[in-house]
């Protein structure tokens, strides 16, 4: 009965509550196991190092470029999603995360680069950015007077480190770049961060299988551990552990679901029969009144 009730509630409300503007929340059980009614057909996890800043705390080399980047689209939100504190008119109060581009998984780099495919540098620097341009790639500033520079990911860009060879390797270029994004943006592509080396890489790379709610053969993911910056010591370093599951419905949940589906169909059939009978009665009464 408990499984049946869980399934009933999940069908009508989802396995978790939704923010009206943000569909992502933790789909896992309290022990970070697979969602209720499901087991793991495969799991994967990885930990990443990053830096987290309030925009107003960025130094002069980064402040203006990041402000311009954030101004191009609605701020997606912090780790809890969009909230009352988000301010697109004054994005100094908003939070951003920065990850060394060399540490970003190839699957994530590829996805980010695909979002800018076909764009010119002028378009990318303009104000009309698509929804998915929530991840910005910046070249690190070099020299005391330099500032960070937004670049098109995947393109050969000028690296201003002293006399770098013209045919620099991608790895060398990546060491001069940083991936910048609002925390909430990462939820759209969490499985890509942990796909490599897993036993289910193809499933995790297929974002059509990824959703906020678990389903048979689907993918769910969440940051199960996250540290915060040390505001007292002004240390922006954080770590983020992401876990993903390819989910499979348990036999118990499957039986409960089938039972509920049968009950639902029976109720709907009875309801339609009753509605049909009521319409027949009304039609008969109208015909009698006309006599």
Phi, psi of 258 (to 5 degrees): -65, -40
What 3-state class would DSSP assign to 188? helix
Question: Are 184 and 286 in a shared domain?
Answer: no
Among 3-7, 38-42, 253-257, the range of highest mean pLDDT: 38-42
What domain count does the chain have? 2
Same domain, residue pair 272 and 181: no
4-8, 195-199, 269-273 — most confident range = 195-199
DSSP letters, 22-66, are B-----S-TTS-SPTTEEEEEEEEEEEEEEEEEGGGS-HHHHHHH
Q: 157 with 232, same domain?
A: yes
Q: Report if residue 13 sits inside a domain.
A: no
How high is the pLDDT of residue 255?
Answer: 76
Closest CA to 150 of 56, 64, 59, 53: 64
Q: What is the pLDDT of residues 149-185, one digit of tens each?
A: 888 776 444 444 443 444 345 667 888 999 999 999 9
Strands (E), the chain: 38-54, 95-100, 135-139, 149-151, 177-181, 219-226, 237-249
Nearest to 115 by CA among 203, 195, 22, 179: 179
149 and 103 inside one domain = yes
- Domain match, 50 and 190 both: yes
User: Do both 64 and 194 map to the same domain?
Assistant: yes
Domain containing residue 278: 257-291
What pTM was computed for the model? 0.75
- Indicate whether 234 and 263 sit together in one domain: no
């Amino acid at each position: 009965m408990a499984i049946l009730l869980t399934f009933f509630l999940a069908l009508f409300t989802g396995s978790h509550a939704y923010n009206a503007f943000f569909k992502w929340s933790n789909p896992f059980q309290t022990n970070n196991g697979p969602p209720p009614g499901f087991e793991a057909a495969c799991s994967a996890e990885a930990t990443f190092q990053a830096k987290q800043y309030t925009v107003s705390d960025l130094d002069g080399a980064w402040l203006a470029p990041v402000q311009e980047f954030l101004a191009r689209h609605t701020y997606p939100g912090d780790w809890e999603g969009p909230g009352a504190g988000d301010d697109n008119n004054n994005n100094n109060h908003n939070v951003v995360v920065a990850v060394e581009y060399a540490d970003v998984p190839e699957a994530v780099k590829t996805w980010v680069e695909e979002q800018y495919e076909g764009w010119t540098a002028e378009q990318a620097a303009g104000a009309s950015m698509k929804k998915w341009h929530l991840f910005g790639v910046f070249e690190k500033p070099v020299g005391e007077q330099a500032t960070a520079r937004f670049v098109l990911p995947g393109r050969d860009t000028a690296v201003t480190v002293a006399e770098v060879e013209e045919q620099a390797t991608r790895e060398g270029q990546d060491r001069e770049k940083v991936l910048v994004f609002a925390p909430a943006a990462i939820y759209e592509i969490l499985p890509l961060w942990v796909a490599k080396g897993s036993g289910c890489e193809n499933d995790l790379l297929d974002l059509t299988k990824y959703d906020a709610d678990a389903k048979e053969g689907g993918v769910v993911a969440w940051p199960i551990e996250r540290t915060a910056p040390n505001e007292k010591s002004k240390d922006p370093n954080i770590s983020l552990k992401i876990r993903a599951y390819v989910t499979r419905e348990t036999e118990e949940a499957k039986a409960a679901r089938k039972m509920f589906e049968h009950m639902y169909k029976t109720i709907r059939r009875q309801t339609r029969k009753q509605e049909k009978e009521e319409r027949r009665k009304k039609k008969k009464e109208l015909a009698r009144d006309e006599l």
